Each structure stands twice: as C-alpha cells, then as structure tokens.
Amino acid sequence: MDNTESYAIWYSTVADYDKIMAQFVQDAKGSCSFEQDFDLVHKYMDYDHAVMIWYGQQHGELGKVIRILNPALDEGFSFIIDPVAELLEQQGVDQISYLFAMPEVCYEGQIHSNGMLEFLGNVKCEQETSEWMAELLRDL
C-alpha cells in the first residue's frame, strides 16, 4: 500500500550550517526569515511534519544529490530524496547542503530564492506504507 503526499521543496547550496539554521529561528512575532522572505508568514507551516535532510558528511557541507552516491543519505527517505534528485539534476544541480520539504503546502509565490534557500517546486512523493500500518488501516 502506498501513501502519496505533496511537499513544497526548498534546498540550499550554501555550505554554512549556522546560516541555514538562522533561516528558521523565530522572532518575537513568531515568524522566521524563511517565512518572511518567501511570503509565508500568514500560511500554516507544520514544522513538526517537515522533512529536513542534511546532505554533507557534516551538517552544512555539500553532498551529492543522488542517494546511492551519498552515504550521508538514509535510504528511509528515498521517497523524497529520489524525486528531488531527479528535479535537481534537470536543473544542473548535483550537490546541495540541505533539503527542506514542507508537507501539504503548495507554494505558488513569486519569490524563488532568498540567497540562502532556493525553491525547487511542489513535488508529489509516494512512500510505501509499512506492513504494521497497512494492517492497522485495514482494521479501521
């Protein structure tokens, strides 16, 4: 049984952990640079279910976007890493430092980069449901 979910995808080619993380530090009003820069301040952002993946051997370093070429990438996230890698390769990007994927957000903003993060696109990802979850869903 497959589970399909859509994600708005941003990535970074900046090799600086602290600068990337600073994008998500909330200010006194409860928003962050990322939300302000991409005009998402008034949109619900479910950070608890966001997918954040570091691609380098150390957080903040660049790493190959192809999962089998990058030992830092966990196979358990192939449902999102593989379709994103395909899109990145189409754009000529073969290394990134960070991937940020927000589920169930369809970003259609005019801003595609803030100098730190680049908007890649809205991507549908299929994740195989585990056997125990499939059994639980059948019992409902």
Sequential DSSP letters for the chain: -EEEEEEEEEEE----HHHHHHTT---TTS--HHHHHTT-TTS---GGG-EEEE-SSSTTS-EESSGGG-TTS-GGGHHHHHHHHHHHHHTT--EESEEEEEET-----S--B-SS-EEEEEEEEEEEPPHHHHHHHHH-
Task: Read off the pLDDT of residues 4-48 as tens digits, 9 standing for 90 and up.
Answer: 889 999 999 999 999 999 999 999 998 999 999 999 999 889 999
Task: Read off the pLDDT of residues 56-100 as tens digits, 9 standing for 90 and up.
Answer: 999 999 999 999 999 999 999 999 999 999 999 999 999 999 999
Query: Is the model's pTM score more than 0.95?
Result: no
pLDDT class of 127 with cuts at 50, 70, 90:
confident
